[in-house]
Structure 1
């Protein structure tokens, strides 16, 4: 039986011990692992593994001993309480072994949890769970974290008070990070806020968010928009060392200056336009881009976009022989000089 994403989230939080087995699969292995972990904890509790009410098997275990799964499902533990058997890396040729365990399952037996990566419609393991009247199949898609998932992660991290703008910043972060990295970031936030009763702020989120190449690229575009010519060369060298290509720099730079153009040309001015940006901006980044837009005229932003476009065409031309990074750096210096004109 298939579970919808919403039904799956509810089931992982509060699994029914009368369900004999669940298949959790998806391309994002970290997301699969986190959801499996959530379900196991909700099913057997924090002491379940210590009380030997949890058994872990792999596909290779079942290939060498096809009775291992059924034996683990039927085993009687020393401690009372629900039990679970996790089976990882199950290949399609082991579907009959899993089917036997599901068919022989009786109330009070251990819940069977099977995890896998991306499975095709023709997968025997997937068909087994989807066609079952009692077992369940939950597909985890490679989508950004939803607001409810972010709220669940906040509860897990023990973060209760979150400002509205901070929640917006977390939603943006949830679109950029994998579920595992997002959880680690919240753990860092929770440690940082330990003993601090003030609501979580955008500044707190920004401070604990992981650094990235994108952050370095943001730095160079802020430098250009603010006319800080002397800082261009060091940042360009750092980005080149990180493997960022000149074409990528031009594309991202064009995006940044288009944002400034949108704000500068907005009806009511940049302050009115920034509230209509999608995706929205928060905190210090929002304030900084607003200041940049207020410092540029529409005419100079049109010149900046033309310069970026011309440089892009030069890079892509067949007869181009000059070093690409040097061309981009020269264009960026000219942009920074444009920022200094009034």
Structure 2
């Protein structure tokens, strides 16, 4: 019996089959649903008397063990739970033996990866009326937002709108990762009833080095020398290498040169920004558009040459790389501050 997404919530609360196969690309969701289903039988999944965790690979050698575990009784009372982790088609023989039994004493959950339509394990499970099969696909954007809000509420957290949007964009691909990150946020905010801010969300779940690179890069090309210097000092203080910073700004500039060229050939700015890959985070989209509108391709090419020379100087001269980096980025910030703002 295949369980679809509409009937999944009811099934998870009250499973109607004794043997369940969970599979799909979202391994966090596979694990979470395995936990939820298991707790319908045994609330304490660490109970050694009532819970048996089996790895899939040993079942290749001793496939009869699954049936033996499924028929064992708990001397302390209560129904037993048998969970098979990281299952693949090697479990097929063990499942064949299990299904030959007229009935099963334990509740059996088989947790697998992303089984394709040709998987012998998946085919057997879908064709057998004694089993339930529950696919675990990654959430859509809308579902990911609902999941995130539910997890925040579960952990007594509130998030500011920009923080919520940031978390939804960064998280959501894997249910398990999302849960771990929200639990980390809950620990960070313990005792603080204020809404989670964007900066707190970035600090807790983001790549701090990447965020710092963005701060340096956008400040430089927008002509904000003071902010650029502060962000650069923070990055250097965290141990980031000057040449790595220059290379990150170079990659950004190469993209700007290409897109500005398309704009000067007649492509509207909004279309360029919307079509950029990878997509821009909402928090930098307006700043990126402002930079693209502000600087002609000829000016960007001059800066490209200066940054390439600075990178070479960092590696091949006796000049201090920190000084080279500061001078190159400071020069861009100074010249960018003099560029007239354009409305295009």
TM range (shorter): 0.5 to 0.7
Contact persistence 2:81–2:108 (CA under 8 A): yes
Structure 1 partner of 2:295: 300
Query: Matches of 1:98 and 1:135 in 2, distance apart?
Result: 10
* 2:233 aligned with 1:238: no
Contact persistence 2:151–2:179 (CA under 8 A): yes
Query: Matches of 2:93 and 2:314 in 1, distance apart?
Result: 58
Query: Matches of 1:204 and 1:234 in 2, distance apart?
Result: 17
Q: What are the ranges of 5 or more consecutive residues in structure 1 without an aligned counterpart?
A: 268-272
The size of the alignment, in residue pairs, is 309
Structure 1 partner of 2:23: 25
Query: Matches of 2:92 and 2:242 in 1, distance apart?
Result: 49
Contact persistence 1:92–1:125 (CA under 8 A): yes
Residues 48, 88 of structure 1: alpha-carbon distance in 2 compared, 3 angstrom cutoff: closer
Query: Matches of 2:134 and 2:23 in 1, distance apart?
Result: 7
Structure 2 partner of 1:137: 133
Q: CA deviation at 1:151?
A: 3.0
Structure 2 counterparts to residues 97-112 of structure 1, below 5 A: 97-104=94-101, 106=103, 109-112=105-108
Structure 2 partner of 1:270: none
Alpha-carbon deviations, 1:24-64, whole Å to 9, x = none? 233454553344334323x2353253273221112243234
Query: Matches of 2:183 and 2:114 in 1, distance apart?
Result: 28
Contact persistence 1:161–1:200 (CA under 8 A): yes
Q: 2:43 aligns with which of 24, 46, 55?
A: 46
Query: Matches of 1:164 and 1:70 in 2, distance apart?
Result: 51
Once the two structures are overlaid, the 10-residue window that deviates more, 48-57 or 227-236, is 227-236
Alpha-carbon deviations, 1:124-183, whole Å to 9, x = none? 111112222342333334567712322343244x225444443223212215x7544433
Structure 2 counterparts to residues 245-264 of structure 1, below 5 A: 246=247, 249-253=249-253
Structure 2 partner of 1:214: 210
Structure 2 counterparts to residues 1-342 of structure 1, below 5 A: 1-4=1-4, 6-7=5-6, 10=9, 13-16=12-15, 18-27=16-25, 29-41=27-39, 43-50=40-47, 52-104=49-101, 106=103, 109-141=105-137, 146-156=144-154, 158-175=155-172, 179-225=175-221, 226-227=224-225, 238=240, 246=247, 249-253=249-253, 281=282, 298-300=293-295, 323=312, 335-342=332-339
Query: Matches of 2:114 and 2:106 in 1, distance apart?
Result: 25
Q: What are the ranges of 5 or more consecutive residues in structure 2 without an aligned counterpart?
A: 316-323, 340-344
Contact persistence 2:125–2:133 (CA under 8 A): yes
Q: CA deviation at 1:113?
A: 1.3
Residues 189, 59 of structure 1: alpha-carbon distance in 2 compared, 3 angstrom cutoff: closer
Query: Matches of 2:251 and 2:41 in 1, distance apart?
Result: 50
Q: How well do the aligned residues superpose, as a CA RMSD in angstroms?
A: 4.6
Once the two structures are overlaid, the 10-residue window that deviates more, 142-151 or 117-126, is 142-151
